[in-house]
Every structure is written in structure tokens, then in C-alpha cells.
Amino acid sequence: MAKSSDAIGNYLSLIKFSHTIFALPFALIGFFLAVELTPAELNWKLLGLVVLCMVFARSAAMAFNRYTDRRIDLLNPRTAVREIPSGVIPAPKALGFVILNSVLFIVCTYFINPMCLALSPVALLVVLGYSYTKRFTALCHLVLGLGLSLAPIGAYLAVTGEFAWMPLLFSFTVLCWVSGFDIIYALQDADFDRDNRLHSIPAMLGPKRALLLSKILHLMAGSFIILAGWYGQMSWWYWIGASIFNALLVYQHTLVRPNDLSKVNLAFFTTNGIASLVFSIFVILALYA
């Protein structure tokens, strides 16, 4: 029993399951937007399928990233302790885990609607393809942002089978927000990336300019939040959530300096996790209050 528990813990660590909190709240926003702004009715089974799609797609993407980067991670002192390079999880098993989660994701979309099923290979191509991008482009952060930005529009499509501007505005928010904080996270490996011919914004521009670009992306994310509230004529509950979200975007940039990366994890995980969760709560309150 202990070994089984350890194995589960190892796989949860492999995919950084706790980081699901970044995009999942925006998927919930997309879902409840569709329920409240269209004739669609609340369907708990459908909500469960949407959540499962998020979990399976993200698990496949994260495990695939660890699998494709296993040799790179072994060379980097910061990442050499990860599950695959350290030998805790064999590479073939990690790849099997990727395949299993990808299949489960597609199966879930089958039970949602034909459009989601048809688009499921495209979604997997984006979220899995990200893992190769830092080998040839510094825009890899934007590809990661694109992958997570599928959450709100994907959940909206699950309910309605149709595209709409409101969830797309939230997708643009996620694209800019995630790209911005991934640049902050990548500051830790700027020298390593440069030395090993890997591409990232910090390696290309240096810490100071990379942080400036991160700020610009977060300014754009905040602007999309405001635009979505205006477009949707949202109530004051929404604007409380938007204010907190934008304040936390500003706050994370006070934690990191070009010559001081000691609080990168606080800025990356804690601040952004709270921002996403709190904002989603206030958006849903705005829809129902």
C-alpha cells in the first residue's frame, strides 16, 4: 500500500498537479458563462467531463514536457532531481502516462459534443507541441500561454458548441497572463539556456528586458480583464475580482528583480494561483448574484 501511495505521489509530482489551479478556474469561468449567458442549462455531468478534460490534457502535457526534457533536465542542477532524470520514474513509463492521459482526454471529449471531439487533436497538438518550442524559438512562453488559454473557450464550447467573444476575451487574458509569469519563472535558467543553445525570453533579452516584457504582457492581461467586464456589462462583484487579480499581477513584479530571483517561486506559484482562484470566484458570483 505504501509503495502504491508513493507511486501516485511521484506521478503527481511529475506533472506538478497543484499547478492545475492556474487554468482550471478559467475553465470554470468559461463553463458558467455559457450556462448563464445562453439558453443552456446547468449539467453537472458535463461540468465533471470538462474538469476531467482539463486534468487529462494538462497531465499529458506536463508529463510529455518532462519526458522530452529528460536529458536537458539531467544537465541542469536545478532540475536534475526531477522524477525522470533522477530515475524515480522510468522514461518509458512516463511516456505511457502521456499516452494514457491523451486517450482519456479524447474519450472525454467524445462524451461532450462532436465539436470538442473534432478539436481534441488540435488541443493536444498545442499543449504537447509546446515541449519542443524552446529548442528553436524564444516565443515558447507564448505557446505555453496559448495552451492554457484553451481552457475558457474550450469549456464554453463544451456547453454551447459555439464560439463567442466573451470566453475569447478570457482566453486572451490567460494567454498574456501565463506567458508573462512563465517568463519570470524562466529567469532561473537564463544562463543555462544560453549555454546549451536553448531559447527563452530571458536568455535572449537578459533579465531586465525580460521582466519589462513580462510587465507588458501582464498589462495586456489586465486590460483584457477590464474589456471582458465592460463587454459583458458585469456587476460590481466582477470588478472586485478584477481589481484583486490586477493587484496581484502588480504585486508579483515587486517580488522579482533582475539581480534577485529568491522570490521567483512565490511570484510564480503562490501569487498566480491565488489570483486565478479568487478571480474565478468573483466572476461566478457576478453571474449568479
For residues 43-68, average pLDDT: 96
Cell matching residue 213: 516584457
Q: Which of 113, 120, 119 is nearest to 60 (CA)?
A: 120
pLDDT tops 70 at residue 18: no
158: domain CATH number is 1.10.357.140
Q: What is the pLDDT of residues 93-109, one digit of tens each?
A: 999 999 999 999 999 99
Specify whether the backbone of 162 is left (phi greater than 0), alpha (psi in -120 to 50) or beta: beta
Q: What per-residue confidence (pLDDT) applies to 265?
A: 82
User: What percentage of the chain exceeds 90 in pLDDT?
Assistant: 85
Report, as an integer, the average pLDDT of 180-209.
96
The pTM assigned to this predicted structure is: 0.94
pLDDT in tens, 203-213: 999 999 999 99
Burial of 117 per CB tally in 10 Å (0-12, 13-18, 19+): middle
Domain range holding 127?
A: 2-288
For residue 90, the surrounding DSSP H or E stretch is none
Q: How many domains does the chain have?
A: 1
Note the pLDDT of residue 2: 47
